[in-house]
Structures are given as C-alpha cells and as structure tokens.
A and B are shown apart, each in its own frame.
Chain A
Amino acid sequence: MREKILGQEKAVWVFMLILVLALFLEVSSTTLPLIIGVFVLLAVTFRRGWVFIAAFVSGLIFDILTLRTIGTTSVFLIILIFLIFLYENKFETETIPFVFISSFLASFIFLIVLGFSNLLLQAFLVSIFASVLFQLLSAPWRDKIRQSS
C-alpha cells in the first residue's frame, strides 16, 4: 500500500514539473497551448479535485504573465476538466484516441480564444504531445494510481 501511495506521489510530482515547464514555455517562447495537453492528461490520469485547483492557479498565472484578462484561462481550464470528468461516466477516457481528440478540440478552441494563427497545425501538435506523454507517463502509473485511490 505504502509503495502504491509513493508511486502516486511520484507521478504527481512528475506531472507538476511538466506543467511548470509547459507554462513557462507557453509564456515565454511558444504559442502552442501545451498546458491544455497537460491538463487533459492530469484529468484523465488522476480524476481528483486538486486538478481543478491546479487549473485555477495555472490559469491565473498564465493570464497575469501574458497580460490577458485575469480569470479567462482559469474558466476555460476548469470547464475543460469538468467536461472530461463528465465524459468519464459515459466513455472510456483512459485511451489514446480520447486524449488525442479532447486535447485537439480543446487546443483548437483555446487558440481561437487567444486569437492565434495556424490553429489546426498547432492543435494537432498539442494532441500528439499529449498522446505521447499519455503513453509514456500515464499508462505506467495508471494502475498504481487507481489502486491507491
């Protein structure tokens, strides 16, 4: 049991590190909505209330650092996570097709909200990023996380 909890803690820290890196890159260097991909993964993998809090805080930081109206990104991320949690009751969410499609649609809408160009290509790249991360990180930890809950 202790090993499983430690495994989950480790997974949380790894995902938090990825989230911070994605946030930093998105604020300073790229227009790719990487945090959307990360939050789709967090919602699919952990399904915990703290994912909402992480989305709320990350959204505020993102809006402040990109000089946008504070709260816009938080609202978007919180609604995205809520929709994923709702879908969980009807569909199997822990699959690559779900991660790919949900991160593609969410990124596409988010890019429209931000007013950026190359919408399809950027959304596609974020979907690939999320799918690869899901395969590399979420899948190996998934069982441990489920069992420890």
Chain B
Amino acid sequence: MPKKSFLPTFLILLFLSILFFFLGRAGFLSIPATLLTKIASPLERVAFGLSSSKTEDNKIVAENKALVKKLADTQKLAAENSALRDQFETSIPKSHNLLPANVVSAPSFVPGVSSPEYLTIDKGSSDGVKVGSAIIFKDNLVGKVTQVADSLSRVTIVSNSSSTFPARTISVKGETGASALGIVRGLGGQELILDNVLLSDTLQEGDYVVTKGDLQVDSTGFPPSLIVGKIVSVEKKASDIFQRAKARSLLDYSRLTTVFVVLETQ
C-alpha cells in the first residue's frame, strides 16, 4: 500500500489555525468563545473545588449525603459572607470600587498543593473588567487581569515569573518613614524578589512589601499600599549597585475562592 501524504491536511489545518488566530485577535470569534466558556466554567469550578479542598472532602465522605450537601452550602455561604465582610471593612481601596468574583479554576503543577500559575475568575468584560485591572483579597494584591472574555477573565498572579511592577517597603521595626523603593519580580510559587533597591535604603527581614501604585486614568494598574509580601531575606553587597530582598506572599493562592476586582478608584 502506498504511503499516504499528510501534507495537504497539514497545510489546510495550519492555514485554518492561523486564520482563527487572526480572527480571534480581531474579536470575530467572541460569540462562540463566550458560549463555550459559559458551558465549561461550571465543570471547571467543580474540578477546582475538588482539587482545592481535599481534606474537607475526606471528612465529608464519612457523613450523611444530604447533611453533607447542606453543610457544604452553608460553608460556602459563610465563606463568601466572611470574604465580603472582610473586604468591605478594609480601607484601601474604597469598597465601592470592588467587584466580587469567584475563582473558576487555578491550574497548578500539583493541584491543591503547589501554587497556581494563574487564576480564572467568573467576571469578564460584560462586568466591566479590563485587561490590567488589579485583583485583590482584603488588603493583599493577588494579581493583574491579563486576558478578558465576555464572562471570564484570566488573572496573572503577582508571584508569576512574568509579573513585574514598582513597590516600596513598610518597616515594622520602628523606623518610621524609612521606605525602600524597588521593582518586584515574581519567582513562581509564592516567592517574589524586590530588586533594584538603592544601597542607601534600608531593607530588613520582616518588612512588608507594598505596591507603590501605578493606577492609570482608565482605572487599570495597581492602587498604592496593597500588601504584596513579607521580606524573608536580604542580599546586600557593598560592591553591587543595588541590593535585593526575597519576599513571600502572605496569601495561599491555591485556597482562594473569592477575590475582588478593582474597577474604579475614586
């Protein structure tokens, strides 16, 4: 039997893929994409729920089915209420600028154990979310919206290796007003690095790294004074131009179920 040539199939599908690429970029495929994401997001939430609450599941298995359902519903409501209450009690940013969003999926290397690379939330352009909108939880910065669909958004977590933004430190050891300026870069997991800090600035273990603030006119960007992490080690050499510090986020991103989108800062 002669060998079948796959070249025509390959070329046709490659052409179609490239065509879809450009159509997608131009926004012509938003309707079918929205439809598919709406169908798939409940399934994704179920999978995310399973991977992020293994210990709770083990307890639940032992109990009566009906009771378990009631308990789970009550717990979900309580967690949501607690998250909302905590969030709206915080002063920065103003509560009326925030849009609550549920985490639909948070893919990580080992689900439920390692820190996720990104989050998908159930709010999109139809809710006013834009590329560049900040995502927060209480006074902590979670990340930035990098892709927006009609009803879903993709959030790049602050500790992702592609994440970089200006930040400053807050000293908790009595030195009032001593704040170091630098650039935060994600290292993956929950690790961050505060780099490009002048040698004359003071960096100490235990200091908090907060956003410097880079809000734009269209309300994208990070509001100032959101907690990014806590410094765990400082690297300072007299021969270097800059000093740097390793920081660790205070949030366990894999456990986040509700986050808040900063829509507009007043």
Chain A residues with a Cβ under 8 A of chain B: 24-32, 49, 52-53, 55-56, 59-61, 63-72, 74-75, 78-79, 81-82, 85, 89, 115-118, 121-122, 149
- 0/1 string, B2-20, CB within 8 A of A gives 1: 0110100110011011111
* Inter-chain contact A29/B107, CB cutoff 8 Å: yes
- Please give, as numbers and ranges, the residues of chain A lying within 8 Å of B14 by CB-CB distance: 75, 78-79
B9 A52 Cβ-Cβ under 8 A: yes
Cβ of B51 under 8 Å from chain A: yes
Apart from the given pairs A29-B47, A56-B16, A82-B10, 7 other A-B contacts in the complex at a CB distance below 8 Å = A24-B47, A55-B13, A66-B120, A70-B24, A71-B17, A81-B10, A115-B117
Q: Would you call A69 and B21 a contact (CB within 8 A)? A: yes
Residues of chain A within 8 A of B148, CB atoms compared = 67
User: Beyond A30-B109, A67-B153, is A52–B40 a contact (Cβ under 8 Å)?
Assistant: no
Contact of A115 among B9, B50, B162 (CB under 8 A): B162
Q: How far is the CA of A29 from the CA of B29 in the complex (A)?
A: 25
Number of interface residues of B (CB under 8 A): 50
Set of chain A residues within 8 Å of B1, measured between Cβ atoms: 149
Quick check: is B166 within 8 A (CB to CB) of the other chain?
no
With A69-B25, A70-B24 as known contacts, state yes or no: A28 contacts B9, CB within 8 Å: no
- Shortest distance from the beta carbon of B138 to any chain A beta carbon, whole Å: 25
Q: Which residue of the partner chain B has the closest CB to A28?
A: B47
Kindly report which residue of chain A lies nearest to residue B47, judged by CB atoms.
A28
| A27/B20 in contact, CB under 8 A | no
Q: B219 on the interface (CB 8 Å rule)? A: no
Q: In the assembly, what is the distance between CA of A118 and CA of B116, in Å?
A: 12
Q: A27 vs B51: C-alpha distance in the bound complex, in angstroms? A: 13
The residue in B10, B13, B36 that gathers the most chain A C-beta atoms within 10 A of its C-beta is: B13
CB-CB under 8 A for A78 and B25, given A31-B108, A52-B10: no
Inter-chain CA distance A149–B50, complex, in Å, is 42
Q: Please measure, in the bound complex, the distance between the C-alpha atom of A65 and the C-alpha atom of B152, giving whole angstroms.
A: 9
B10 & A31 in contact (Cβ 8 Å cutoff): no
Q: Chain A interface secondary structure, helix, strand, loop or mixed?
A: helix
Q: Are B6 and A85 in contact (CB under 8 A)?
A: yes
Contacts A/B (CB < 8 Å), 19 sampled? A24-B43, A24-B47, A28-B47, A28-B107, A49-B9, A59-B17, A60-B20, A63-B24, A65-B36, A66-B120, A67-B147, A70-B29, A71-B22, A74-B13, A74-B17, A75-B21, A82-B6, A115-B161, A117-B117
- The chain B residue with its CB closest to the CB of A79 is B14
Is A67 a contact partner of B6 (Cβ separation < 8 A)? Answer: no
Q: Contact between B43 and A28 (Cβ–Cβ < 8 Å)?
A: yes
By beta carbon, the residue of chain B nearest A71 is: B21
A94 vs chain B, min Cβ distance (A)? 16
Q: Are A65 and B37 in contact (CB under 8 A)?
A: yes
Which residues from A are CB-within-8-Å of B6? 49, 52, 82, 85
Assembled-state Cα–Cα distance A59/B9 (Å)? 16
Interface contact A31-B109, CB-CB below 8 Å: yes
The answer to whether B139 has its CB under 8 Å from any CB of chain A is no
Q: Contacts A28-B43, A65-B36 hold; do A71 and B18 have CB atoms under 8 A apart? A: yes
Q: Which residues of A contact B22 (CB under 8 A)?
A: 71
Chain A min CB distance to B252 (Å): 16
Q: What's the minimum C-beta distance from B23 to chain A, rounded to whole angstroms?
A: 7
Q: Specify which of A31, A65, A72 is in contact with B44 (CB 8 Å cutoff).
A: A65
Determine how close the nearest CB of chain B comes to the CB of A130; give it in whole angstroms.
17
A117 in contact with B188 given A30-B108, A31-B108 (CB within 8 Å)? yes
- Are B24 and A78 interface neighbours, CB within 8 A? no
Q: Is the CB of A31 within 8 A of B33?
A: no
| B17 and A25 within 8 A (CB) | no
